C-alpha cells in the first residue's frame, strides 16, 4: 500500500501544478507564452495520468486513474503547498515553476537511477514513466530559468515583481525536503530518494539562477508545511471543486 501512496504523491504534484498552469490558457501575456504554459500543463497532466494509472494498478481494487483524480477528498491529496498556490502574475507563475522543476528534476533522476535493476514490474513501469518525464522537466527548468533571468534583469517593474514572487513562494519550498513515513518506507524498500541530496541539487540550481537574475534567496524564512500530510492551504479546495464538479454531479459520466 505504501507504493500506492508514494506514486500518488508524485502524481498529485504534477496534477495540481498542471491544473494551475492550464488556468493560463487564453490568458497568457502573449500567444507564444500562452502556448508554452499550456504545453507544460499538458506535460504535467500527462505525467499525472500515467502515474495515477500505475497507482490504480498497484492498488488493485478495480479503480481507474479517474477515480483517483476525481473522487478523492482534499485531505487525501498529498501535493506540496507550493504547487497549489495561485498563479498570481506571470512572475509568480515563473518562480513557482522554477522552484518545482528544480526539485522535480534531481528527484526524478535519482529515483530513475535507484529503480535500475529492480525486478518488480510496477517499479519497472514507474521507471519508464520517469524516463519520459525527465526529458520534459529538463525543458520546464530551462524555460522557467530563462524567464527568471529575463524578468529579474528586465525593467524595474519586472524585477520588483520577481522579488515579490520569490518572497511569496520561497516559504513553500521547505516541505519538499522534509521526509515523512512514505519517504522513509520507500528508502527501506531500497529505491527511495534521499531528500537532503535533492536539496543540495535544488540549492545549486537556485543559487545559479538567482545570481544571474539579480535576485536573492530570502534568509531566515519560516517554512510552511502540511501539503504532504494532506493539510492544505485554502486554495486546494477551490481547485478540487472546479476539477471534480462534473464527476461528482454526474457520477461515471464520460465524454
Partner 1 sequence: MEKEMPLWEVFIRSRQGLDHKHVGSLHATDAQMAIENARDVYTRRQEGVSIWVVESKYITASDPADSDQLFEPAKDKAYRHPTFYHLPEGIKHI
Interface with partner 1 by CB under 8 A: which residues? 30-33, 35-36, 39, 142-143, 146, 150
Reported as half-sphere exposure (CB side, CA atoms, 13 A), residue 64 has a value of 4
Which residue number, 142 or 200, has a Cβ lying nearer to partner 1?
Answer: 142
CB of 177 to partner 1, least distance (A): 30
CB of 105 to partner 1, least distance (A): 17
Q: Please check whether residue 217 is in contact with residue 165, taking contact to mean a CB–CB distance below 8 angstroms.
A: no
Supply 8's cell numbers.
Answer: 500518488
CB of 94 to partner 1, least distance (A): 13
d(CA 168, CA 247): 33
Which residue number, 39 or 225, has a Cβ lying nearer to partner 1?
Answer: 39
Which residue number, 145 or 192, has a Cβ lying nearer to partner 1?
Answer: 145
Name, in order, each residue with C-beta under 8 angstroms of 209's C-beta and a sequence gap of 6 or more. Answer: 98, 102, 145, 148, 149
CB of 91 to partner 1, least distance (A): 16
d(CA 83, CA 96): 7
Which residue number, 32 or 219, has a Cβ lying nearer to partner 1?
Answer: 32
Nearest CA to 16 out of 74, 109, 79 is that of: 79
Amino acid at each position: 500500500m505504501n507504493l500506492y501512496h508514494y506514486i500518488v504523491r508524485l502524481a498529485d504534484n504534477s496534477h495540481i501544478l498542471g491544473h494551475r498552469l492550464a488556468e493560463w490558457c487564453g490568458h497568457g501575456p502573449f500567444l507564444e507564452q500562452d502556448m508554452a504554459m499550456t504545453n507544460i500543463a499538458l506535460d504535467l497532466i500527462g505525467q499525472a495520468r500515467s502515474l495515477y494509472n500505475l497507482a490504480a494498478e498497484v492498488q488493485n481494487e478495480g479503480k481507474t486513474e479517474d477515480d483517483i483524480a476525481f473522487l478523492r477528498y482534499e485531505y487525501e491529496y498529498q501535493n506540496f503547498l507550493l504547487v497549489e498556490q495561485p498563479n498570481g502574475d506571470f512572475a509568480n507563475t515563473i518562480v513557482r515553476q522554477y522552484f518545482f522543476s528544480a526539485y522535480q528534476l534531481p528527484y526524478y533522476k535519482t529515483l530513475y537511477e535507484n529503480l535500475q535493476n529492480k525486478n518488480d514490474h510496477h517499479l519497472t513501469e514507474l521507471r519508464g514513466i520517469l524516463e519520459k518525464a525527465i526529458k520534459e522537466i529538463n525543458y520546464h527548468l530551462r524555460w522557467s530559468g530563462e524567464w527568471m533571468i529575463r524578468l529579474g534583469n528586465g525593467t524595474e517593474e519586472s524585477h520588483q515583481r520577481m522579488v515579490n514572487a520569490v518572497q511569496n513562494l520561497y516559504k513553500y519550498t521547505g516541505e519538499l525536503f522534509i521526509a515523512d513515513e512514505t519517504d522513509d518506507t520507500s528508502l527501506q524498500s531500497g529505491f527511495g530518494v534521499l531528500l537532503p541530496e535533492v536539496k543540495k541539487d535544488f540549492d545549486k540550481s537556485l543559487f545559479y539562477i538567482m545570481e544571474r537574475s539579480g535576485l536573492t534567496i530570502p534568509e531566515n524564512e519560516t517554512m510552511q508545511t502540511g501539503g504532504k500530510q494532506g493539510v492544505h492551504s485554502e486554495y486546494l479546495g477551490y481547485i478540487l471543486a472546479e476539477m471534480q464538479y462534473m464527476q461528482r454531479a454526474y457520477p461515471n459520466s464520460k465524454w
